[in-house]
Structure 1
Amino acid sequence: MDVNKYRRTLSVMALSNLVLLMGVFEFSWDPHLVLLFYWFEAGVAVTREAAQSLFAALPPSKEYRPTGTRAPFPLKILADVRGGFRPARWLPPVYPQNVPYTLLTLIPLVAFWPFGGLMLTGVVTPVVETFVLPVSAALGVLAILVSQLFKLVDWFQSGEYETVSATGGVSKTHLALLFILAFVAPFVVGVVEAAGVTRVELGLVLVGSKVVYDVLELRNPGFVQSAMFIDKTAGEESTVEVPDGEPVAAFHTDQRAEFTTSVFVGVLSSFLGPTLFFVLLGGLTGMLVGSNLFGTPHGPAIGVVAGAAVVVAVRVLAQLAVGWIVGGHLVYRVYPDAVVAHNTLTSEAQWSIPREDISDVTIGDGFLASRLPDWFGTVRLDRYNGESHKIAYLTDVDAVAQLLDA
């Protein structure tokens, strides 16, 4: 065990709980406010671990890939992107292949966490009286953020990201913890308060429970793990053979076509795919908030439209990011003996086809293709083994076809 790391973790844990204890005694924090802090910390912890999983350097094993499981993977096309890129010089590479697994962690949180907050603040339940956060609550929020930031920095410094793979998902234990915080604990606190237990006594019990939880986590790391990414799920990444020497020609994808397609797919998938559930959920959440902020009769309608629009906008932005990563940086390099799709963002070849294996070269000329601008041009490469690859969004597809037919 790293003694220095253990001491640092213990110090941050003690400081965080001392802030809560001071809030109970000095700022007269209500027990329901303390529960709200715990709910906030649980959500921030999941977000932190989801962010960490983006940097996991090893690919997941076949059992955890989208093709090896029945789990619905969001943006699963990113799972096939090879290589990574540095978002900043002082950070390790981010691997796009981890994004679908990260979303598997965040989606349950987004679907469940806001309702927990509405419950704990009394917006949508009569169990807790609606209350306004005191100014001193900023101190509790700051303590939580500093604690989680410390864990994030410590994880980077340990280099653990080099030995793990992202497999996504929120553990059932952590979901149970969130459920207890949002839906069970407020009832229990209300019953105990009605029995005559004082605010300070309840606050001490809640802070003591948190201390016990922190000690258990310190002695048994991950016993209530939120995001599941471990070295046992790591697999091996296949290699893509790239010929030596310089290519005879290189063709870049057109950014205009990539942008237009991403916006169209983002809007369409918001209403035809699984995202429709979140559009409806966003509308429902917006209706509750709109009713509370603007009242009737216009508040609910404004909230529904705003909530649904936010989800659609997020889905479009996500699709734009996917297009930027997957196709926005693709360069199709034609070598004397192979065709290679190279991603300049991740600095990795995505696929390679020996030219002798190409059985047919076809230019896209269907009904839709004839009505789109030239920069939507596509070329399909068929192989003798039945596989095919598409070279998409090129301005001069004729030049590609002539070169490959030569």
Structure 2
Amino acid sequence: MTSAGVDTGDDGSERHGRPARLARSAITVLVPVAGVVGFGWRLDLVLSFYWLEVGTGAARLLFEATLAARPNSELGSTLDPPFRRLREKRGGIQTPGLLPPIHPHALPTVATAGLFVSLVWLLAGAGVIAFVGADVIRRHAAVVLLGAVGVTLGELVALLVNLRRRPYADLSPAAVVRLRQFLAPAAFLFLVVVVVFGDGGPVDAGVPVAVVVCGRTLVGVADTVGLGRRLLPARMQPEARIGDRDPVPAGRGAPTATWRVDRRSVVAARALTGPGRVLLTRAGLLVGAIAVFVWLVLDGTAGVVAAAGILAGVAVVGAASVATEADLLYGHLEYRLYDDCLVAYDRLLETPQWRVDLADVTEVETGAAVLDGVSALRLQRLAVRGGEHSGTLVGLADAEAVRERIDEARFE
């Protein structure tokens, strides 16, 4: 049983994901063997292949995490991730064909893990390129392309198998993104590079290619049979990272009134204030310190341009991320007033997000967002406070009229 009380077999995803890992591992073994036997791959090209494999495997895991329907448990939640306000979103975006719904609540986990994995993978890539040599990669571009095709094929096979067999409805994003699947092959790759460098570099090293291929195969087999999982403490097991969330019931009958969020206003306001929201955080202050350091190191015009470029780049990315978060959080909400309750319904996710029973409402108060004074934007807000549940209506054109209509329903 999981911490949420759902029986998921031997770990909720290990049993169903094992066929995919077997298929992927087979291709991971066969491509280097074919490269060594048929194309004369050397140790440096084999390591380049394994580096590509680690990156594409991590990308597949991150994509699969967006399909997980259950929320993370407290153990599976990161402290302060990007898109953190989407954690409480219910429902998923319906997709055509074989794909399950894509769930916005997975974005905080995917963004945090993606940033970490990208940083490690890019740093490892820089080391592999320095180790192999850019000229070697250029001379063997066709061979490297063959390896990339093999890696991509292996991950596509794993994804297709998982789409047919894996119970995404019973998994959380943190249970899908198990970093040990990324870290184990990455650690092996790092170990091989260290040993080879200590033995004179890729040209003079006496490490046989067969030893490296066999070692990487054993790492894959250990993951496939779940050896790494057995070594983890209980709190780090995938099932301990699966949470639960009660559904929000709709009201009785048809709604008596509805109000939609002004999507354009909400997204535009967040995009305009996004740079400040990002740069005035702890992470933003760290970026500012890095920019100042670059300015001092480079000095002169080059330092100013580089520092300004860092700040501008972070500001643009921050504005885009904040605007995306606002669109998914509020852009498709429709507030529905029933005889007995007020419900925030997400039309994109086709799922109620929160509900306040009219009998429990103690206060209804109007308000406004930061940029409400801009005539082109509709950013009025209305806070509806109850006993255990409260909600805030955002992106309204006339919050006072909405308040009056809710008060009429309360006192009828």
Residue 81 of structure 1, aligned match among 85, 89, 103: 89
Contact 1:166 1:230 survives alignment (8 Å)? no
Is 2:125 aligned against 1:113?
Answer: no
For residues 16 and 179 of structure 2, the distance between their equivalents in structure 1, rounded to whole angstroms, comes to: 29
Seen in structure 2, the aligned counterparts of structure 1 residues 242 and 198 have a Cα distance that, compared at 3 Å, is closer
| 1:327-366 alignment, distance < 5 Å | 327-364=330-367
The secondary structure found in structure 2 opposite 1:167 is helix
Q: Normalising to structure 1: TM-score of the pair?
A: 0.80
Unaligned stretches of 5+ residues in structure 2: 1-9
Is 2:225 aligned against 1:216?
Answer: no
One-letter identity of the residue aligned with 2:219: Y
The secondary structure found in structure 2 opposite 1:375 is coil
Please state how far the C-alpha of 1:95 moved relative to its aligned partner.
1.7
For residues 113 and 278 of structure 1, the distance between their equivalents in structure 2, rounded to whole angstroms, comes to: 22
Q: Normalising to structure 2: TM-score of the pair?
A: 0.79
Contact 1:163 1:231 survives alignment (8 Å)? no
For residues 58 and 86 of structure 1, the distance between their equivalents in structure 2, rounded to whole angstroms, comes to: 16
1:57 paired residue number: 69
Write out per-residue CA displacement over residues 329-352 of structure 1, whole angstroms, 9 at most, x where no aligned residue. 000111122111111111111111
For residues 301 and 49 of structure 2, the distance between their equivalents in structure 1, rounded to whole angstroms, comes to: 33
One-letter identity of the residue aligned with 2:86: L
Please state how far the C-alpha of 1:222 moved relative to its aligned partner.
5.9
Query: After alignment, is 103-112 or 28-37 more displaced?
Result: 28-37
The secondary structure found in structure 2 opposite 1:364 is strand
Is 2:192 aligned against 1:188?
Answer: no
Query: After alignment, is 146-155 or 255-264 more displaced?
Result: 255-264
Seen in structure 2, the aligned counterparts of structure 1 residues 353 and 62 have a Cα distance that, compared at 3 Å, is same
The secondary structure found in structure 2 opposite 1:131 is helix
For residues 112 and 103 of structure 2, the distance between their equivalents in structure 1, rounded to whole angstroms, comes to: 16
Seen in structure 2, the aligned counterparts of structure 1 residues 338 and 163 have a Cα distance that, compared at 3 Å, is closer
Contact 1:377 1:395 survives alignment (8 Å)? yes
**Identical positions, percent:** 22
The secondary structure found in structure 2 opposite 1:49 is helix
Unaligned stretches of 5+ residues in structure 1: 292-296
Seen in structure 2, the aligned counterparts of structure 1 residues 365 and 27 have a Cα distance that, compared at 3 Å, is closer
Is 2:410 aligned against 1:398?
Answer: no
For residues 206 and 39 of structure 1, the distance between their equivalents in structure 2, rounded to whole angstroms, comes to: 13
Please state how far the C-alpha of 1:240 moved relative to its aligned partner.
2.0
| 1:228-239 alignment, distance < 5 Å | 230-239=238-247
Query: After alignment, is 10-19 or 238-247 more displaced?
Result: 10-19
Please state how far the C-alpha of 1:279 moved relative to its aligned partner.
5.0
Please state how far the C-alpha of 1:386 moved relative to its aligned partner.
8.1
Please state how far the C-alpha of 1:32 moved relative to its aligned partner.
2.8
Contact 1:121 1:131 survives alignment (8 Å)? no
1:35 paired residue number: 47
Q: Please tell me the root mean square deviation across aligned C-alpha atoms, in Å.
A: 4.0
Is 2:164 aligned against 1:157?
Answer: yes
Write out per-residue CA displacement over residues 184-225 of structure 1, whole angstroms, 9 at most, x where no aligned residue. 4323212324698667x6322222212222232333376599
Is 2:56 aligned against 1:44?
Answer: yes
Please state how far the C-alpha of 1:52 moved relative to its aligned partner.
1.0
For residues 289 and 182 of structure 2, the distance between their equivalents in structure 1, rounded to whole angstroms, comes to: 22
For residues 170 and 224 of structure 1, the distance between their equivalents in structure 2, rounded to whole angstroms, comes to: 13
1:90 paired residue number: 98
Query: After alignment, is 103-112 or 148-157 more displaced?
Result: 103-112
Contact 2:355 2:389 survives alignment (8 Å)? no
One-letter identity of the residue aligned with 2:144: A
Please state how far the C-alpha of 1:258 moved relative to its aligned partner.
1.6
1:389 paired residue number: 391
Contact 1:32 1:186 survives alignment (8 Å)? no
Higher RCO structure, 1 or 2 (CA under 8 Å, sep 6+): 2
